[in-house]
Amino acid sequence: MPGALMFSGGKDSFYSYIIFRERYGVDVDYLIFLRPTFASPHELNSHVVYLLGRLLGKRIITASSGNISDVLINLGVDFLIAADIYVWDHLYWLERICENAGVDLVEPLLCRDTYGVVEDAVRRGIEFVIIAINKKVNETSLRNLLGFVVNVDTLDKFLDIVDLLSIDPAGESGEYHSLVTCAPVLPCKIIPCQAKVCHVGRYLALGFGNVLLEWRGSVKI
């Protein structure tokens, strides 16, 4: 039963993948990296997204909003995993995509409490860095969150900050974007470096020029 995962390299991609495998005992064959029509922090760091895909041992397929149905049909997959929680417009769009392609849409995180999503993801060993902040949130968020690394040691501080800023802890409304640096399904930890602050559409974002891999105490480029 071949399947695919919507994959941005962010925490929700990894968390939905882990939850799906636990729930159904089935893996995926492909990762779908969607190139949006608008400026995207994940597109800025697409080289890191592709690296994460390779570390997962999966083939990454690039798609656009206009051809994703055809991509799914050509791959011959039976299901597509996504990580929507409560952004209904995006969910309904994916439902139409999957209906047109004749595949089942699986949403492991749908209607979950966003605090619970972040807490459980981190407690399971997912570590992520905040790579973009919506400039409309406020200036305090830009100072406090851009480049912030969320893991078991910093989780409580992160939740305190998002509470103070009154933003969704999962960034479900586009308040921020993340990039996973460590996860139980990865063979090593990645260390993004050579960071440069960029204006990417409505976001202030970090673009990384290089990535180091940390394997059992050693570091390799």
Concatenated DSSP letters of 84-109: -SS-HHHHHHHHHHHHHHT-EEE-TT
Q: What is the pLDDT of residue 142?
A: 62
* Residues of the chain above pLDDT 90, percent: 83
Asked if 14 contacts 185 with a C-beta cutoff of 8 angstroms, the reply is yes
Residue 221 pLDDT greater than 50, yes or no: no
Q: What is the pLDDT of residue 136?
A: 82
Domain limits for position 77: 3-106
Could you tell me if residue 93 is inside a domain? yes
Task: Write the CATH number for 65.
Answer: 3.40.50.620
Q: For 151-174, what is the mean pLDDT?
A: 93
Beta strands in 139-188 (DSSP E): 149-150, 176-182
| Whole-model pTM over 0.85 | yes
Q: Which helix (H) or strand (E) holds 211?
A: strand 203-215
Q: Is residue 207 part of a domain?
A: no
Is 21 domain-assigned?
Answer: yes
Residue 95 covered by a domain? yes
Cα Rg of the chain (Å, integer): 17
Do the domain assignments include residue 119? Answer: no
Give the tokens for residue 126: 């997912």
Q: How many domains does the chain have?
A: 1
pLDDT greater than 70 at residue 141 = no
164, part of any domain: no
Spatial distance between the Cα atoms of 158 and 148, rounded to a whole number of angstroms: 8
Distance CA 192, CA 207 (A): 9
Which whole-number Å values give the CA distances from 42 to 15, 31, 47, 127, 212, in the listed order? 17, 14, 9, 17, 18
25 found inside a domain = yes
Asked if the structure places residue 156 within a domain, the reply is: no
In sequence order, the 6+-apart residues with CB closer than 8 A to the CB of 192 are 45, 48, 129, 179, 181, 206, 208, 210, 211
Residue pair 94/119 in contact by the 8 Å Cβ criterion: no
Which of 117, 95, 115, 120 minimizes the C-alpha distance to 106? 95
Tell me the pLDDT of the chain averaged across its residues.
92
User: What is the per-residue pLDDT across 20-62, written as a single tens digit (0 to 9) for each?
Assistant: 999 999 999 999 999 877 778 999 999 999 999 999 999 999 9
Residue 219 has pLDDT above 50, yes or no: no
